[in-house]
C-alpha cells in the first residue's frame, strides 16, 4: 500500500516530502518554459525537460513553432505523457478537446471561459462527480488576446503545504467529504445536474497523488457551514490573494502551452483583436502526469 505524504496521519512521510519540496527554490514563470520544436513529437531531451518541471511543480510551459489551429496537437502531446482518457465534456467538440474563444450569443456565452471576463482561482472540473475527477490538463494557445488574458498558476501541492504549515486543521476541514457543495442546478444543455458535494483535497488511493477541487467563485457554490471549514476557506483565499513566490505569472502566446496536473489557476480579463481573437485549445484528463 502506498503511504501518501498527503495523509494527515503520515507525519514522517509528509516531513520528508515537505523538505524535498522546499529544497528547490520556487521557479519564475520563465523557468517553467521549455523551448520545443514540435509538440506532436517531442525529442527525448524536450520530454525530459518538461517532465523535470512537472515532477517538481506539477506544471510546465512550452514554447513551440506549432502555430496552426489543430486540436490534434493536444491529443498527441498528451499521449506522450500517458494522458489518454479525455473527460467527455458536453461543451467540448466531439473529440473531447475544447476550443476556448469568445462566443457571443448562444449557450456558450453563459459560461465564463467562453467570454473575455476574468476567471477567479480554480482547478478544472471542480463540479465533476468523484468518479470523473480531473487530474491532468493541457492548454495550447493558437492566438493570444490583444491585451490581457494572462494566467496565474500555483502548484496545488504548494497550496496544501502552505496551509498545512499554518494549521493542519485547515487540511482536515478541506478533506471533509462535504466541504464544498455545488447545489443542484438546471442547465440549458444538460438539464438537471444533481447536487455535487466533495472535498477540496483528496488523495488518490492507487497513486497517492493529491487532488484539489476548488473554485473561488461564490455563486453556485456552498461551503460547509461550520467554523473549521469557514476558517480553512478564508486561509486558502488569503493565500491566493497575497503576493507569493509560489504564484507564477504566465502569458500564453501562439504556439505556447501548459501541461499540468490540474494546478490552481486563474485568468485575467482580456480585449480581443476582432481580426484575430484569442483562441486556446484545452484538454482535460481523468489521469495525471506521473513522474
Provide the binding-site residues for Fe ion, judged by CB under 5 A: 124
223 has which bridge partners?
Answer: 180
Indicate the residue among 124 and 155 with the shorter CB distance to Fe ion: 124
First to last CA, the chain: 18
Give yes or no for a contact between 268 and 149, defined as CB atoms under 8 angstroms apart: yes
Indicate the residue among 124 and 272 with the shorter CB distance to Fe ion: 124
Indicate the residue among 19 and 218 with the shorter CB distance to Fe ion: 218
Residue partners of 192: CB distance under 8 A and separation at least 6: 184, 185, 186
Indicate the residue among 46 and 87 with the shorter CB distance to Fe ion: 87
Least gap, CB of 124 to Fe ion (angstroms)? 4
| Set of cell numbers at residue 103 | 462566443
Alpha carbons within 13 A on the beta-carbon side of 117: 11
Residue closest to Fe ion, measured at CB:
124
Least gap, CB of 112 to Fe ion (angstroms)? 10
3-state helix, strand, coil in the chain (%, to 5): 30, 25, 45
Indicate the residue among 46 and 124 with the shorter CB distance to Fe ion: 124
Least gap, CB of 282 to Fe ion (angstroms)? 7
Angle at 76 between CA 118 and CA 277, to 5 degrees: 35
d(CA 62, CA 252): 9
Angle at 264 between CA 41 and CA 21, to 5 degrees: 80
| Set of cell numbers at residue 27 | 521557479
Which CA distances in Å does 1 have to 32, 88, 149, 241?
33, 31, 43, 37
Least gap, CB of 60 to Fe ion (angstroms)? 17
Least gap, CB of 264 to Fe ion (angstroms)? 9
Given strand 151-154, what is the order of strands in its sheet?
Answer: 119-122, 264-267, 151-154, 248-250
Indicate the residue among 96 and 208 with the shorter CB distance to Fe ion: 96
d(CA 116, CA 174): 31
| Set of cell numbers at residue 164 | 498545512
Least gap, CB of 287 to Fe ion (angstroms)? 18
Indicate the residue among 99 and 169 with the shorter CB distance to Fe ion: 99
Least gap, CB of 202 to Fe ion (angstroms)? 19
Indicate the residue among 124 and 287 with the shorter CB distance to Fe ion: 124
**What is the maximal distance between C-alpha atoms in the chain?**
56
Least gap, CB of 98 to Fe ion (angstroms)? 10
Amino acid at each position: 500500500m502506498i503511504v501518501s505524504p498527503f495523509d494527515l496521519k503520515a507525519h514522517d512521510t509528509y516531513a520528508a516530502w515537505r523538505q524535498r519540496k522546499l529544497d528547490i527554490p520556487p521557479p519564475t514563470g520563465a523557468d517553467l518554459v521549455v523551448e520545443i520544436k514540435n509538440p506532436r513529437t517531442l525529442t527525448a531531451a524536450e520530454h525530459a525537460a518538461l517532465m523535470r518541471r512537472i515532477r517538481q511543480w506539477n506544471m510546465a510551459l512550452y514554447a513551440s513553432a506549432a502555430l496552426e489551429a489543430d486540436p490534434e496537437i493536444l491529443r498527441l502531446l498528451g499521449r506522450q505523457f500517458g494522458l489518454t482518457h479525455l473527460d467527455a465534456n458536453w461543451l467540448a467538440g466531439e473529440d473531447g478537446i475544447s476550443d476556448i474563444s469568445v462566443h457571443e450569443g448562444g449557450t456558450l456565452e453563459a459560461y465564463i471561459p467562453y467570454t473575455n471576463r476574468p476567471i477567479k482561482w480554480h482547478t478544472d472540473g471542480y463540479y465533476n462527480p468523484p468518479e470523473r475527477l480531473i487530474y491532468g490538463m493541457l492548454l495550447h494557445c493558437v492566438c493570444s488576446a490583444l491585451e490581457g488574458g494572462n494566467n496565474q498558476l500555483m502548484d496545488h501541492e504548494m497550496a496544501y503545504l502552505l496551509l498545512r504549515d499554518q494549521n493542519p486543521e485547515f487540511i482536515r476541514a478541506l478533506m471533509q467529504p462535504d466541504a464544498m457543495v455545488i447545489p443542484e442546478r438546471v442547465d440549458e444543455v444538460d438539464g438537471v445536474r444533481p447536487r455535487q458535494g466533495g472535498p477540496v483535497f483528496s488523495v488518490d488511493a492507487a497513486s497517492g497523488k493529491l487532488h484539489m477541487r476548488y473554485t473561488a467563485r461564490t455563486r453556485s457554490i456552498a461551503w460547509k457551514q461550520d467554523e473549521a471549514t469557514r476558517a480553512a476557506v478564508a486561509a486558502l483565499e488569503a493565500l491566493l490573494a497575497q503576493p507569493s513566490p509560489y504564484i507564477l505569472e504566465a502569458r500564453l502566446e501562439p504556439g505556447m502551452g501548459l501541461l499540468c496536473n490540474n494546478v490552481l489557476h486563474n485568468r485575467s480579463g482580456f480585449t480581443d483583436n476582432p481580426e484575430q481573437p484569442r483562441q486556446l485549445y484545452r484538454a482535460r484528463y481523468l489521469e495525471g502526469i506521473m513522474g
